[in-house]
Structure 1
Amino acid sequence: MAHPRHELDSAFHTPLRFSLMAALSDGAVIDFGTLRELLETEDSPLSKSVAHLEAAGYVKVTKGYVGKRPRTWVETTAKGGRAFARHVAALRAIADGI
């Protein structure tokens, strides 16, 4: 049986990307500003993290307007949800000494 570390996904290795995926669990769709506040980060690092996860196919970005104000919403894709669940399961297995 292979060590669970082989199931870790490098897309989630940074604390910000990991936290972003955790915030988007359970099908949440969250606007960029709310994510920035929730994750206690700045625009640039969050934007880079979202772009990285979007390129991997793990999140979907939707742009639109609320009134005349532009908004960006982020949500997890099915692929991203499965990948994140595998990553978390691997972390748990490693922590449990399996």
Structure 2
Amino acid sequence: MWERLDHGAGMATPSELRRMRGALVAVVLLVLGASASGLAVPRLAVDGGSPDVLTFGDDAGRVRNTVVRLRHRIVDDGWFPVTVSGVGLRADGVRLTEVREDGGRAFA
């Protein structure tokens, strides 16, 4: 009875193996392409501006305070919208004073 059984039953043929390998390569390339294009991962880009330097002095002409203002614009370059839930800054001697949305609205 053992001799009558098909020992190749359930095994993939060489052409099926080639098609499965091709499909696997296509899926891997699709996933890599989607992540590089921003489809799967958010892509935020920064449009930097030039700094504004303000100096404040006293009546004697001495400089008492220097303020450097640097504006940045963050743009979503991905395929889908991104929700930014917070903005912060960590640097010695630097203070984040204001964050606004594109329409001039205050950031919530």
TM bracket, shorter-chain basis: under 0.3
Q: Which has the larger radius of gyration?
A: 2
TM-score, normalized by length of structure 2?
0.20
TM-score, normalized by length of structure 1?
0.21
Which structure shows the bigger proportion of residues in helix conformation? 1
More relative contact order in 1 or in 2 (CA 8 Å, sep 6+)?
Answer: 1
